[in-house]
Chains A and B, each alone.
Chain A
C-alpha cells in the first residue's frame, strides 16, 4: 500500500517552501500563506514568529481585500513597525501570501520584491 505523507510532513514541506521563499531576499522578514476563503492560515516561514491572533487577523484582512469582483492583486499595509504586503494568488483561488518587511523598506521595494518572489512560484 502506498504511503501518503502525513499531515505533519506536508506542513513541514510547506513551511520549508515558505522559508525558501523568504530567504530569496534578505529584505523579507517573514512569509505567511493564508486561505482567506476559509479564514485559515495554511503555513508560515520559520521566522514568522507572530502570535496566532496576528495571523488570523491577516486572514480576515485578506478576505476583505480580495473579495470577488474588486480586482486588486496586491494590498499594502504600512505601520510604524512593519510593511505588510498581501499578494493575491489567482492560480490558487482563495489564497494569498503575506510578506512582512521592516518598516524602513520602501513601498516600491516591498511591492517589487513581493511581486518577484510570487512570480518565482509559478516557475
Chain B
C-alpha cells in the first residue's frame, strides 16, 4: 500500500472515529494480517485518549485503554468489576521494561482472540484513565511479537494480477486487460468484442463517480456486478495503477476472485507467488 493510501485510510478512520462506535464496529483480519495485528492496528490508530470494549466471538469482553497510539491498560469490563473495589486491571505496563510483562500481555490477548474470526469494538464510558501515563506503543508490540501491521514489500502489480487470474482461470469466462494503451484478451473468443465494449462502458461509468468518491481512482479500485446479460455471468472491473482489467466470471467464482482483488487493493496479496 502506498503512503498516500495508508494516510487516506487513517484520515478517514480518524474523521469517523466514534461515529459508529456506540453501536459497535467489527474488526476482521484482511489478507495476511492476523486478528491480533488488526487489534494492534486499532490501537495504533487511536490518537485521542479512548476506552473501548472488545468482544470476541464467544461474547467475552475486555476493556482497552489507549492514548496516542499506545496501549495503557487492559481491564475487565465495568460490569465485572467488584462492587466497591478497585478497577480490575488485567494488564498494564511496568515502570521499567519487563519482557515477562509484555509476554504475559501477548499470551493473554492470543488466548482472548483464539477461536474468534472477528472482534466487536464498542465505545465505553469515559472514566479515570489511571495506570501508566506512557503505555506501550502498538508498533513496538507488533515488532516484539513479529506481527505484521502493514503489507509486505510490494510485488509488481502485473505479476500479482497474472497470478490471481492464473489461480482462478477455471472461473474466468473471458478477460480484457489494458496496460499502457495496449489491449489483451483471453478466454472465450466469441465474447471478446462484447467484453471489450463492457470494459469501455464500465471504465466510463465507474470513473464518472470519482469526483464524488475521492478515493475512487485508476490507481486502486475494484467494481463488481453480481450478474450481467443473459448468461448471468458476474463481472469484475479492476483498476490498479493504470492497469484496467475486465473479467466475465462464472457465478461460482465471483466471490473468491473479488476477495483476491480486494486483498490486492490493500496490499495483501491473496495468492502465493507462482513457482518459476
Contacts and interface: CB of A to CB of B under 8 A. Distances in A.
Q: Say whether A associates with B.
A: yes
Interface of A: 23, 26-27, 29, 47, 49, 53-58, 60-61, 64-65, 70-84, 102-109, 111
Nearest to A53: B212
A27 B255 contact: no
Interface of B: 1, 5, 8-9, 12-13, 16, 19-20, 23-30, 38, 120, 205-206, 208-209, 211-213, 215-217, 220-229, 232, 235, 255, 258-259, 261-262, 265-266
Nearest to B5: A80
A82 B9 CA distance: 9
Contacts of B16: 29, 49
A23 B23 contact: yes
A80 B261 CA distance: 12
Nearest to B121: A26
Contact of B220 (A76, A79, A105): A79
Contacts of B266: 80, 103-104
Contact of A78 (B27, B205, B209, B265): B265
Contact of B258 (A65, A70, A107): A107
A57 B213 contact: yes
5 contacts: A29-B19, A65-B205, A74-B226, A75-B223, A78-B258
A53 B183 CA distance: 33
A75 B237 CA distance: 11
Contact of A79 (B1, B216, B228, B229): B216
Contact of A61 (B205, B222, B235): B205
A84 B206 CA distance: 12
Given A83-B262, A104-B27, A106-B262, 8 more contacts: A26-B26, A60-B208, A70-B228, A73-B227, A79-B221, A102-B26, A107-B259, A108-B259
Nearest to A45: B20
A75 B25 CA distance: 23
Contacts of A53: 211-212
A105 B212 CA distance: 21
Nearest to B204: A64
